[in-house]
Amino acid sequence: MFTLDDRITARIRAADYRDWRGKVHAVNGCAKPIRLSGAHQLQHADTGKVLHHHGGDIFVPCGNRRAAICPTCSDRYAADAFHLVRAGLLGGTKGIPDTVTAKPRAFVTLTAPSFGPVHSRATSRRGRSIPCRCGQHHHDDDPRLGAPLDPDTYDYVGSVLWQAHAGVLWQRFTTRLRREIAKRAGIRVRDFKDQARLSYGKVAEYQRRGLVHFHAIVRLDGPEGPADPAPSWAHPDLLDDAVLAAAGAVTVTTTRPGGGSLALTWGDQVDVRHVQPATSAELEDEQGQISEPRLAAYIAKYATKGTGKTEAADKPIRSQLDIDFLKVSPHHRRIIQTAWNLGALPEYEDLNLRRWAHMLAFRGHFLTKSRHYSTTFKAIRGDRRAFRLAETLDRLGLEPDTVLVVNDWTFNGAGYADAAERELAAAIATRIRDDRKHKYHQENQP
């Protein structure tokens, strides 16, 4: 009987291994690539003459943003998220002017309310560990962190319904924020759109207790967007005050199973900090103001942290059997079970809770932005494709205006043939990632 090592050795010695390895390198070691067969041609735009032809079988990245599913594609998403957020922060790229750094901007964190006391780990100002309510000192990796002190009294139903409505709560927050800004500026709400525009980039992050909180960069533009100067009344203090007022004012009302009203609000921990133009390499100064150099990476980290390893499941729940065999903590299993049970009730049909049970009932995207905050993922990916095409045309000595790109591909499946190929691809992905990190470190040495 052949072991995995034997199969790996046999695959390396196979006649087609070099060609297979080249395909894996082309997708940076994607964990579950899409296999296509067909051809790619460059034709003369006027005559139809074939100028370049590449046919056969190829791999295409799976594009999964979850690090638990595909670290390679998750890394690419993180890089794209970084550039999307950075463009809205610093400007000077992706069609966003660098004048955005002079506008009022705030780094806002909105959290979920309490649904019952949980195990926590806190430190004093001197850095000493403060005992949890249970009387013990928890270490960072203690699996009890975030779990209820008393699961029987914890409001699982309320927490699931809050999570399912978190996106609606954010929408109402931004609507109320415009009202609060207009109020402080001394203008009518109906006139706000003629004088200013509220732009934002927002990411969701799971807390240890299984609920999300939002990190957002909020910016005040002129009515036409990032290229339009902010109105004279726009000031960082005005924006900060309006954020705090809006966060405390919005409510989404729903019902509990069997009747009874439930008011859903933000938690008491609302954090608002100024975003200052870069003056140092520090993330924040002594006054707690956030500087630009690290903030884009900070936000991008949260954008992919939620799509990486979480306490939730990596795949949608299809049956009760799936829940029974999940490798999650008892607390998160109970959240998933609650979402599954509520999803069977007619009053929550519009929430589609069973579809989102694996996400602990969170139904939103992990990174969202207003239309005028910065560029889009589609534009970033389009730029990457255009760059690669330009490289190919330059190598072939062809002019872009004279060439038509013709693709004809057929889907052949997804993933690798066996465990040996998966192990080899994972090793290639790790080597590529390590080489990239080493190169980045070398290029950014002081």
Give the up-direction half-sphere exposure of residue 51: CA atoms within 13 A in the CB hemisphere: 21
Give the amino acid at 136: Q
pLDDT of residue 6: 87
Residue 45, token pair as written in the block: 């735009």
| Sequence-ordered list of residues with C-beta below 8 angstroms from that of 42, at least 6 positions apart, any chain | 50, 51, 52, 53, 392, 393, 396, 398, 403, 404, 405, 406
The whole-angstrom separation of Cα 109 and Cα 117 is 21
pLDDT, tens digit, 9 for 90 and up, residues 399-421: 888 888 888 999 999 999 999 99
Helix (H) or strand (E) holding 18: helix 17-26
In degrees and rounded to multiples of 5, residue 393 shows phi and psi of -65, -40
- How much is the CA Rg of the chain, to the nearest whole Å? 25
Type of residue found at 173: F
Mean pLDDT is lowest, of 148-162, 177-191, 199-213, for 199-213
- Measure the CA–CA gap between 127 and 130, rounded to whole angstroms: 9
260-263-269-275 Cα dihedral, nearest 10 degrees:
150
Tracing tokens 């939620």 back to the chain, one arrives at: 306
pLDDT bin (cut points 50, 70, 90) of residue 286 is: very low
* Least confident stretch, 130-144, 300-314, 423-437: 300-314
Which of 143-147, 180-184, 195-199, 290-294 shows the lowest mean pLDDT across its residues?
Answer: 290-294
CB 332 within 8 A of CB 313: no
- Are residues 252 and 169 in contact, defined by beta-carbon separation less than 8 angstroms? yes
pTM of the model: 0.85
Residue 295 has pLDDT above 80, yes or no: no
